[in-house]
Each structure stands twice: as C-alpha cells, then as structure tokens.
Amino acid sequence: MEKIFLTKEGKKKLEEEYNKLINVDRPKNIKDLAEARAQGDLKENADYDAAKNDQSKIELRINEIENIFRNCDIIEEDHDTKVVNIGSKVTFEEVSSQKKQTYFIVGTIESDPINNKISNESPFGIAVLGHKIGDIVDVKSEKMIYKVKIINIEKD
C-alpha cells in the first residue's frame, strides 16, 4: 500500500475520531444492539437492523483509521520553505487573471478544497510540488491547462 501523508494536525483529528469511535460510539452501539435483541423477533426488528448497520459503519471506520495509522508518514513541520512540499502553504497568482490565492498542500486524506487544503495528488498539487518562489508552472486539469506563478511558500 502507498504511504499516506498526514500533517500533525490531521493525525490528531484522526486520533480524536478514533478515540470517539472506540470509547463512545462502539459501546453505545453494543448497548443499542442488546436493547434491540431484547425486543424479540430479529427478522422484522427495525431497531436491530439500524443498530447492525451502525455497527458495520463504526467497525469499517475503525479499520480504515487503523490502516491509515499503519501506513502514514507525518509531514515534518521544519521542511524547507524554498520549494513546495507536502505541508507547504503556497500563495500563487493565476497568470491569466492575476488572481492571488493560497492553498495548503496536504495528503489525500486531509484534502478539503473548501478550506483551501489541496491534495498533493490533485492537478494543482502535482504541478507545484518541487517548485520555487517565482516559478511559473502549468496546472493541467481535466478541462484545461492554466499557468500559476508561485509567490510565497510557508510552513503549514
């Protein structure tokens, strides 16, 4: 399996979610299953079906997070700010419109475009990784190619 890149903040959020699943959601689900079983006939028991469905979701997510933890690399915060890396905060200017934006380059798991967290595997991430301030790079999306100029690189 490929390595999964996480920031320290991203790992912390996953740890919090994992702890909630283990210490809150799973015990509640066990209680819900017991209460539903106590109602009798399981064939037409909607509460039991719902609790079993919740159990599947909880266990699947626990397994996903455990897999992420086994295969993750934590992005070091002291990385070089001379070139764009995973974990960089990149300010750039779209050459044609001269519109400036800032994106955080993160691993796929943490990608959240609404909050300007762009995956290292996205067209933008792929295009800017390894480039320096002042470089003009082509970003190849599915529909078009556009140029961006890297204005600033900071630590996340």
Does residue 41 sit in the same domain as residue 64? yes
For the stretch 117-136, pLDDT in tens is: 999 999 999 999 999 999 99
Res 71 pLDDT > 70: yes
Burial 36-63 (b: 16+ CB within 10 A, else e): beeeeeeeeeeebeebeebbeebeeebe
Q: How confident is the model at residue 79 (pLDDT cuts 50, 70, 90)?
A: low
pTM of the model: 0.75
CATH number for the domain harbouring residue 37: 1.10.287.180
- The residue type of 108 is T
Distance of CA 22 to the CA centre of its chain: 20
Residue 81: inside a domain: no
∠ CA 45-22-36, nearest 5°, is 15
Res 21 pLDDT > 90: yes
Does residue 65 sit in the same domain as residue 98? no
Question: How many domains does the chain divide into?
Answer: 2
